[in-house]
Amino acid sequence: MALLKRREALEAAAYIYECRIRGKRDKYIQEQLGLDADQYAEACKFLLEHRSEQLREMPREHVYVEYVIDQKKNIKDLDSLIRNLDANSQYNALIGAIRLRSDIQNKILDRAQEFGLVKKEAEKRELIGGIALFDLGADDLRKKIVSHTKGLAEVMRDYGEKDFLRLPAPELHYGESAFETTGEAVDSADEDDEAELEKPSGRRAAKEAAKAAIMSAMKKVKTR
């Protein structure tokens, strides 16, 4: 077995590359080159090493241009296929070919964005403070910011850096009535309980109990 000279390996590698692009099988390529198995394997290895070295040395813009050229060839082949399918009324295959062409075109744009050659806009899904910003105009966004800033200012004014344990207990709201009016007879024990709450001492006791519960909850939050 005679090893290939560099020039022979380079020519064989170029031929192998072109044949593989056209979809030719290795057995066919080897026969066309007249190489034995070892020489063909050597030529294939040279092709990969030489091509990899070229890509490493090329600017990414040049790599992308070559990628686009190859994809344009595919699109051209698909254009011809689409015309034939349309002429023969093979509509299912026609739809598949059109979708494939569209996918290739989309990939060309995606690769350009990945290489940084085309500016990619950020996906508009950002949430700030529970507000979806992507569907807000400038005026609506300004109103949201003012509203939230005002609410924050009120919280800071009322609480600020104060110790939670030293804050006054908030006023308790019982609502219009603790019971719905149904027109039915009410048990006398329930009436006695409600009357007890109406007394000053009863209201005071309930308020003290609620205050104690709030203070206990605040202590638990603070110790976490």
Stretch 69-79: mean pLDDT: 90
Lowest mean pLDDT among 2-16, 21-35, 43-57, 156-170: 156-170
Q: Are 167 and 159 in contact (CB under 8 A)?
A: yes
Stretch 61-68: mean pLDDT: 89
DSSP string, 19-88: HHHTT--HHHHHHHHT--HHHHHHHHHHHHHHHHHHHHHS-HHHHHHHHHHHHHHHHHHHHHHHHHHHHT
Predicted pLDDT at 207? 65
Q: Which of 103, 98, 73 is nearest to 86 (CA)?
A: 98
Q: Between these two residues, 68 and 208, which has the higher pLDDT value?
A: 68
**What are the boundaries of each domain within the chain?**
1-57, 59-120
Q: Quick check: 196 pLDDT over 80? A: no
Q: How much is the mean pLDDT over the chain?
A: 76
Q: Quick check: 158 pLDDT over 50? A: yes
Q: Quick check: 87 pLDDT over 70? A: yes
Q: Quick check: 79 pLDDT over 70? A: yes
